[in-house]
Homo-oligomer: A and B are copies of this chain.
């Protein structure tokens, strides 16, 4: 693969660019981004070799879409219109049902692979791009059978070279489960941050009292609202379901406290303690 196009040169797109360039120094990485300042930054950090536009995609061997999920939905049909028969296009979005539906009947559907690399940090933009971000991370691939054999192979080879483990799911199941293990965490973190900031806004030195536990639970509240708003919008039904269950569990915990049933409070925590074993599986 000689001509790699990265659409969206932020944390995810930029990190793909860095890893690919490292393994294939002879390739040219082209950057496309609606934010020209980001393209300049990406050039400066040697994340991309050249700026490009959608009309240049005819020479692409690989196109990586790493932009907000609403923008990806808008632009994907036009990307597929511009690529050649042998181009593999994959996205990296946190929702999969809408994007698969969007190109279901596109004449170049077989050029597209719907992917969700479960990787990232709470930072964003080209300066957040790092080498090795995807090593030992899970990459969920949806509707793999809708992608042409040869192009599947190209993409899988790349993911394997970058050290990712692959899981195949259908888009509906992906969106449902990811709401629990990712989207809900972001809302719980944002609302925890909000609750504390609201209360303590006039007493900033209170945060001197905060330790690493607080930092850990609100870390995701640093995430980009521009990326996360369209994710919640596209996955609205599933996310609302997780929020309902989370709120019910919090209400129940509160009721146990109000009733002075601290044996039950203990049990609530002990039952959840085996999250230790589950988390041991996450690297």
Query: Which residues of A approach B to under 8 Å, CB–CB?
Result: 118-122, 137-138, 140, 165, 167, 174, 177-178, 180-182, 184-200, 203-223, 225-226, 228-230, 232-233, 236, 239-240, 242-247, 249-251, 253-254, 257-258, 260, 262, 265-276, 278-279, 281-282
Q: A197-B274, A204-B278, A244-B254 are in contact. List 19 more A-B contacts (CB 8 A).
A: A118-B211, A167-B208, A177-B200, A181-B207, A181-B211, A184-B192, A185-B214, A191-B253, A194-B272, A195-B246, A197-B275, A208-B281, A215-B279, A215-B282, A225-B270, A228-B269, A229-B265, A232-B257, A243-B254
Q: What is the minimal beta-carbon distance from A220 to any residue of chain B, in angstroms?
A: 5
Contact among B138, B211, B265 for A137, CB-based, below 8 A: B211
Q: Given the complex of chains A and B, what is the CA–CA distance between A232 and B253 in angstroms?
A: 11
Chain B residue, CB-CB nearest to A200: B180
In contact, B191 and A250 (Cβ under 8 angstroms): yes
Q: What is the minimal beta-carbon distance from A29 to any residue of chain B, in angstroms?
A: 25
Shortest beta-carbon contacts, A-B, top 7: A225-B269, A181-B210, A118-B211, A185-B217, A193-B275, A193-B272, A229-B266
In contact, A188 and B197 (Cβ under 8 angstroms): no
Chain B residue, CB-CB nearest to A178: B209
In contact, A220 and B221 (Cβ under 8 angstroms): no
Residues of B contacting A119 in the complex (Cβ-Cβ under 8 angstroms):
211
Q: What is the minimal beta-carbon distance from A238 to any residue of chain B, in angstroms?
A: 11
In contact, B217 and A189 (Cβ under 8 angstroms): yes
Residues of B contacting A253 in the complex (Cβ-Cβ under 8 angstroms):
187, 190-191, 243
Contacts A/B (CB < 8 Å), 22 sampled: A118-B209, A120-B212, A138-B208, A180-B199, A180-B206, A181-B196, A190-B269, A191-B253, A194-B249, A198-B249, A199-B245, A207-B278, A207-B281, A212-B282, A216-B219, A222-B273, A222-B275, A225-B267, A230-B262, A232-B265, A233-B262, A243-B254
Residues of B contacting A196 in the complex (Cβ-Cβ under 8 angstroms):
180-181, 184
In contact, B193 and A180 (Cβ under 8 angstroms): no
In contact, B229 and A217 (Cβ under 8 angstroms): no
Residues of B contacting A137 in the complex (Cβ-Cβ under 8 angstroms):
211
Residues of B contacting A226 in the complex (Cβ-Cβ under 8 angstroms):
266
Q: What is the minimal beta-carbon distance from A69 to any residue of chain B, in angstroms?
A: 12
In contact, A217 and B217 (Cβ under 8 angstroms): yes
In contact, B247 and A194 (Cβ under 8 angstroms): no
